[in-house]
Structures are given as C-alpha cells and as structure tokens.
Structure 1
C-alpha cells in the first residue's frame, strides 16, 4: 500500500524541510514502495512548489520509493514539464 502525503495551501521555502521531514516520518518503518503526494489543495503552484516536489522526490528515492502526484492541476503539470520533472506526474 502506498504512503500518502497531502500538501495543502501555498508552499513557501520554509515549508520544504518540514514537508521532507513529514515524508521521512511517514516512510520510517513503512514497507511502502510508492509515495502518493496529494496536491489537489495546493494553492498557486509556482517554482517553490516545484522545488518542494523535487526535494520530496529525492527524499522518497533515498527511502527506495517512487513519488507520484495525485490531483495535480494543469498549471503545476506545465511547470513540472518545463523544468524536466514530468516523470513525477
């Protein structure tokens, strides 16, 4: 069963370490091989959100998991494609 991390609101640079810590805590001792990052309630997708998702992907990979998005809006998907992170979506 995949682990699920929900991202809500607008992501600031200060939120990135907290989100990565939450993901680490979620994966600690879990047998998950996949992380679903629910971004349906992410407000104003921007490059800070993209940075957060890239760092979350790295955190998941270090734990041997794949990161996938759920509920991503077109604006976020376009930004991810623009920076070469379309494999997350």
Structure 2
C-alpha cells in the first residue's frame, strides 16, 4: 500500500481555547487553585490562550483585579495568555484604572514589536 503526497497547504483544525469559568465572589484561598488550573490547561492543550468567563465574578473590586493579575502572570509563565469573556463594564473600568491591560474575547490580539527593529531610519543611514 502506498500513500501519495498531497500538494498545497495542509488543513489544520483550529483548537478552541480552554474556558475557565470564574466563581462568584473571589475568596483568597481559591486563587492558588485557579492559578494551578490555568497552568494545567495551558500544559495540556495546544492553544496558548485560556478564556476566563468573568460574568459571575461578583462585584468588581481589588480582589477580582488581584485574581486576574495572578492568572495573567501564571499564564505568561506557562507560555500563554488569558482572555476575558463577558466582563462587567465596572470591572473593565477598574482594570483600566489600575493599569492592567488584558485581552477581551472578540478583540484583535495586540502584539509586541519585534526586538532589534528600528521604526525610523534617516535617509542614507544603514538600518541597525
């Protein structure tokens, strides 16, 4: 039995990202378990993003901000990111106020510029 090589692009099925539904009011003792869950989701799947459903997170406060910051740091250390689903407008305002920029589901992903690339070069000057 022989197998013919295919021509053209390979078809790859897109993996849906892992979804973590965050519970109601955030308890301090639950943070470590949620971070471990994000770490396991990123280690077990091929997707580099965990979608955090924050619709039921409760009243927006510093405990919610702390949890989301810790989840983002955990995901980054594992080589991924988190993306928020269904955030409350008050939570978004609080995240912006404290300077925590997280991706929202449905938004285009922001990428950092490549290292060592100059954005402007004077005419006649070599690019470094």
Q: Same fold (TM over 0.5)?
A: yes
Aligned to 2:97: 82
> Structure 1: which 5+ residue stretches go unaligned?
none
Contact kept in structure 1, 2:42 and 2:49, CA below 8 Å: no
Runs of 4+ deviating beyond 6 Å = none
Structural RMSD (CA) = 1.3
What TM-score results when the alignment is normalised by the length of structure 1? 0.89
Aligned to 2:50: 35
For the residue of structure 2 that corresponds to 1:28, the secondary structure is helix
Structure of larger gyration radius: 2
Q: Are residues 1:54 and 2:69 paired?
A: yes
Q: 1:85 to 1:15 in 2, by over 3 A?
A: same
* Higher RCO (C-alpha under 8 Å, 6+ residues apart): 1
Aligned to 2:39: 24
Give 2:60's match in structure 1, choosing from 41, 45, 48: 45
More helix by share: 1
For the residue of structure 2 that corresponds to 1:24, the secondary structure is helix
What TM-score results when the alignment is normalised by the length of structure 2? 0.64
Give the number of equivalent residue pairs.
Answer: 89
> Structure 2: which 5+ residue stretches go unaligned?
1-15, 105-128
More strand by share: 1
Deviations 1:29-60 (A, max 9, x none): 21111111100111112101110000100111
